[in-house]
Structure 1
């Protein structure tokens, strides 16, 4: 027997009031899981996962979601501390609809690429800049909350010695891994826009190593649904949500982390501070 679907909120409230008490006693294993946390489960649950700072960009139809997180593993006890997150209406369908002014019925990554080639340079530059602002916010907010110098922590070899007091060479750094997910992650335009943020926003001067964009790792036990392309990126969130509550890592949300305290500046011994004696007469 099917029940008529309510068209307005007021029509649904009576059914909700009758159902809610029963759900409160019967449904016990019901938990909210951040969508973006589910998306990185395949990486975190892998034995090859190395603790450290990572970034994740999910390019969907309507939005681009970006997060930066610190993955911790203490003797098998996994934890993800999300330092930052931002969502913008810059997905494949959203940008494609804006460029085509609603004339294209179906817009995918290929259609979007063609629309971008023929759009006005000013419009293209504006979309690229909006992507960069999202990337810059996600990375720099996480960098400020973490507090460490990511470039020094990302040195490939402990034997590497700096012969000059100058900027660290990017050739001696491990890159900042940025996972790409979602149906639009195959678009070269999105990849180029994200990668170009490093140079455009001068992240090398902000203790950030170069980015390396990679696909979300596919789990070994993942079975591709029939009739679907062999692309795990489209099913990463669904796969992550399939874990029973308690089996995945503990999660810390961005609101739980404040900006790290900046280290004190070094002062020479016996330095005279005028502020300590300016009121003396």
Structure 2
């Protein structure tokens, strides 16, 4: 074990598509391989605005982390972080507060292995191999418990990760466990894929593409996403399409529709 948490339990494979690397490809990154690009293109064919979804999530994440850092939040737990490429949490948070600490968690050995290489020897940023559906293990992992002080407020980030927890009851219970570990004054940042411009046929086709990967997903309607926010007090403007959450410039209706996702930030009290 090193400062980044437990090493991957298996050698990273590049011959099978991987959701984190597909996401990286949609964002224009370079940490992806032929199998990822092939699956990502199939996803884009099934759901034409897949790239816009990925970019809207990244932009929302950056705005939300900036907002929390400006409020004084200096430690973050990023659940299902994927590969922390350019513009991810530690860069944004430390741009506001150079001493901010970030604990990344992902269940995929490939994403963790790449993240370890990208992060290098960073004393205030860790990456932990763990399944977010097992909160007890995640919260007690060396890369999390050894870095974050849970007697102080934490920014709990669940951005584009809960689609990978298809069962609604389980998703609510998982979030409840993490919320319970956070003191009042902590914040939850949540985003989730949802059909805005996508048709039922496109949603079904996109879910079918992901069903062929190790990480199938479920799209949720806004009322089910709202259920995931129980126990938090949403800050303005509440649960909205991603481009409408405190945008730097007013989004077009096309921007809103093509994002196909909702997001919110809420205070844990």
TM-score normalised per structure 2: 0.29
Question: Rg larger in 1 or in 2?
Answer: 1
TM-score normalised per structure 1: 0.28
